[in-house]
């Protein structure tokens, strides 16, 4: 069960002439989760948009303190939409360094499952609805949050629109393997690994993926791989159980069960979730004759930062610069068009 509460010590704060922001706390199955509500300051909201975070441990701004990475993308999108007349709610992802706090350890065990991500999103959607009155509801999920948003939209008819932001279009372990192979290739190209070593490492990683899917523990040689080790930042058994649960869901099949209009926004320079995934989601919708819009943003990476020419892949993935304003404009234009 969940309870959404307003922090009594906070006040409505004007960030700009057109925006107000309030801190919230979502209490969901034994855990307190920081959230932030942004509203247009002087007009009723056109729509209310829930922003669902991705896989890693992000705070309410969309930063990753335990990784020392601060892209602030969720705050930028939320405030940008509020400035254009939309209510938004964003919240932290469960995990170390995000401001979340366990208040009931037994109940909080639910947060070790992928299914709980949809429960938390449902709680956040309820809080947004309560705060925004009669504004139509939309859900926007970033990265892994796109799959969460898909599952929520499919089960909740109060959601009028679904937005996929750099969302995966294949089962998660296929994507993790693709990411690992890309990292290995980059290491080989940089001269940090020989071609022979790269082949061996890819083989070990493929063996690890197969082991996870079979319910076994991966070989010791790959347990320390950063893509596995930091995926959730939790214990190995918890992490692998979560990944197996999520991996059973094919995002392309799931999105074909959503009857609401769908917008897919993909950065063409994303080297975390590649453009092929956005295209796969788009094809799944088109094949089912369901409404879909695909927008590619040239030069944008996974967090909608524009990548300067010549930037190395690892550096490109960790930019902390301005979030591309085209993202907010794309969302606002599409939300407006689909209300007609």
pLDDT in tens, 273-284: 999 999 999 999
Burial pattern 124-160, b for ≥16 Cβ within 10 A else e, equals: bbbbbbebbeebbbbbbbbbbbbbbbbbbbbebeebb
Note the pLDDT of residue 234. 64
Q: What are 7's two structure tokens?
A: 């922090």
Q: What percent of the chain has pLDDT over 70?
A: 91
Measured distance CA(313)–CA(209) in Å, rounded: 23
Note the pLDDT of residue 18. 81
* More confident site: 226 or 236: 236
Residue 212 confidence class, pLDDT cut points 50, 70, 90: confident
Q: In this predicted model, what pLDDT tens digit does every residue of 122-146 receive, in sequence order? A: 999 999 999 998 899 999 999 999 9
Yes or no: say if 110 and 29 are a contact pair by the CB < 8 Å rule: yes
Please check the confidence at residue 306 and state whether its pLDDT lies above 70.
yes
Please check the confidence at residue 218 and state whether its pLDDT lies above 80.
no
Work out whether strand 262-267 and strand 159-165 pair parallel, antiparallel, or are unpaired: parallel
The distance from CA 142 to its chain's CA centroid, rounded to whole angstroms, is 3
Q: Is 98 left (phi over 0), alpha (psi -120 to 50) or beta?
A: alpha
Please check the confidence at residue 13 and state whether its pLDDT lies above 60.
no
Furthest CA-CA distance within the chain: 63
- As to burial, measured by CB atoms within 10 angstroms (0-12 exposed, 13-18 middle, 19+ buried), residue 22 is middle
What pTM value is reported for the model?
0.91
Measured distance CA(19)–CA(221) in Å, rounded: 51
The mean pLDDT value of the chain amounts to 90
CA distances from 8 to 11, 36, 174 (A): 8, 14, 44
Phi, psi of 323 (to 5 degrees): -70, 135
- Lowest-pLDDT choice from 66-75, 180-189, 289-298: 180-189
HEC profile of the chain? CEEEEECCCCCCEEEECCEEEEEEEEEECCEEEEEEEEEECCCCCCCEEEEECCCCCCCCCCCEHHHCECCCHHHHHHHHHHHCCCEEEEECCCCCCCCCEECCHHHHHHHHCCHHHHHHHHHHHHHHHHHHCCCCEEEEEECHHHHHHHHHHHHCCCEEEEEEECCCCCCHHHHHHHHHHHHHHHHHHCCCCCHHHHHHHHHHHHHHHHHHHCCCCCCHHHCCCHHHHCCCCCCHHHHHHHHHHHHCCCHHHHHCCCCCCEEEEEECCCCCCCHHHHHHHHHHHHHCCCCEEEEEECCECCCCEECCCCCCHHHHHCCCCCECHHHHHHHHHHHHHHCC
Average pLDDT over residues 101-106: 96
Residue 227 confidence class, pLDDT cut points 50, 70, 90: low
Q: In this predicted model, what pLDDT tens digit does every residue of 316-340 receive, in sequence order? A: 999 999 999 999 999 999 999 998 6
Note the pLDDT of residue 223. 67
Ordered by where they begin, the domains of the chain are 2-171+249-338 (3.40.50.1820), 172-246 (no CATH)
């Amino acid at each position: 069960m969940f309870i959404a509460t307003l922090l009594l010590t906070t006040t409505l704060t004007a960030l700009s002439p057109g925006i107000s922001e309030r801190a919230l706390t979502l209490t969901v199955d034994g855990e307190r989760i920081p959230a932030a509500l942004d509203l247009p300051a002087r007009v009723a909201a056109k729509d209310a948009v829930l922003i669902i975070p991705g896989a890693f441990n992000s705070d309410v701004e969309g930063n990753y303190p335990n990784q020392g990475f601060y892209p602030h993308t969720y705050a930028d999108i939320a405030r940008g939409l509020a400035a254009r007349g939309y209510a938004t709610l964003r919240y932290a992802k469960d995990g170390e360094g995000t401001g979340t706090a366990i208040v009931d350890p037994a109940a909080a065990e639910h947060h070790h499952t992928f299914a709980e991500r949809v429960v938390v999103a449902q709680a956040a959607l309820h809080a947004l609805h309560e705060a925004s009155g009669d504004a139509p509801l939309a859900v926007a999920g970033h990265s892994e949050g796109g799959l969460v948003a898909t599952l929520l939209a499919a089960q909740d008819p109060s959601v009028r629109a679904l937005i996929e932001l750099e969302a995966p279009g294949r089962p998660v372990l296929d994507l993790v393997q693709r990411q690992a192979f890309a990292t290995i290739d980059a290491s080989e190209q940089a001269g940090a690994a020989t071609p022979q070593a790269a082949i061996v490492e890819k083989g070990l990683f493929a063996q690890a993926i197969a082991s996870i899917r079979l319910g076994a523990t991966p070989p010791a040689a790959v347990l320390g791989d950063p893509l596995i080790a930091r995926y959730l930042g939790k214990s190995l058994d918890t992490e692998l159980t979560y990944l197996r649960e999520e991996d059973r869901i094919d995002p392309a099949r799931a999105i074909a069960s959503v009857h609401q209009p769908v917008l897919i926004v993909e950065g063409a320079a994303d080297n975390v979730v590649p453009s092929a995934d956005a295209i796969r989601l788009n094809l799944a919708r088109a094949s089912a004759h369901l409404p879909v819009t695909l927008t590619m943003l040239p030069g944008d990476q996974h967090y909608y930062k524009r990548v300067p020419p010549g930037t190395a892949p690892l550096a490109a993935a960790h930019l902390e610069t301005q979030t591309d304003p085209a993202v907010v404009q794309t969302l606002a234009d599409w939300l407006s068009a689909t209300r007609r």
